[in-house]
Chain A
């Protein structure tokens, strides 16, 4: 069976630091997503990509960069971590309009 792997599971950074989160999927899905999850605010879309080398901004793209150099991988960079920031970043992948995207287990970010 397929799997979505997010690394690292936990990430502790310093204020102002550039931090990179990685996501790999072996479903051969075309579309991949990055969401940010804050307590009480649900999931907010940061970036998504419909194919290799494609990038589409979500509602929360400011302060982030993304990269889709291969179909199987999608990375997210926090360009300058904010002090006291704490959130879970979720990667998902999917294919065709009717299939439900699948999620990884998340990367938990804390900024000191």
Chain B
């Protein structure tokens, strides 16, 4: 079936450190992949998306590459800021045949210390 795996439940960094959040997915189709970010008390909001395999998406210094070979969509940022502290979700879909479903990973809580 379709699924998304985020192994890191929590990541703690200091400002200006490098961020890497692991995401792998499983699907039989060709979905769009997203990263959403959720700040306390708010709903998730789109951070970036990639619609085509082997392409890279970027936004606000974050980037992720849709790697169909390794079925991965890892999130990276060269230098984090305290304001990046939030929960990050890797998301699969929707796409034709999935019934318009969005499938969320379990989320990674990023805490950035000043």
Contacts and interface: CB of A to CB of B under 8 A. Distances in A.
Contact of B101 (A45, A104, A105): A45
Interface stretch (A14-22, A36-44, A70-78, A79-87): A36-44
B102 A101 contact: yes
Interface stretch (B18-26, B38-46, B63-71, B76-84): B38-46
A97 B107 contact: no
Given A43-B44, A45-B101, A105-B43, A97 B96 contact: yes
B107 A58 contact: no
A50 interface: yes
Given A42-B105, A100-B49, A103-B43, A94 B89 contact: no
Contacts of A56: 99-100
A94 B44 contact: no
Interface residues of A, number: 26
A56 B94 CA distance: 14
Interface of B: 9, 32, 34, 36, 41-46, 49, 51, 89, 94-96, 99-107
12 contacts: A41-B106, A42-B105, A42-B107, A45-B103, A58-B101, A90-B44, A92-B102, A97-B32, A98-B51, A100-B36, A103-B45, A104-B43
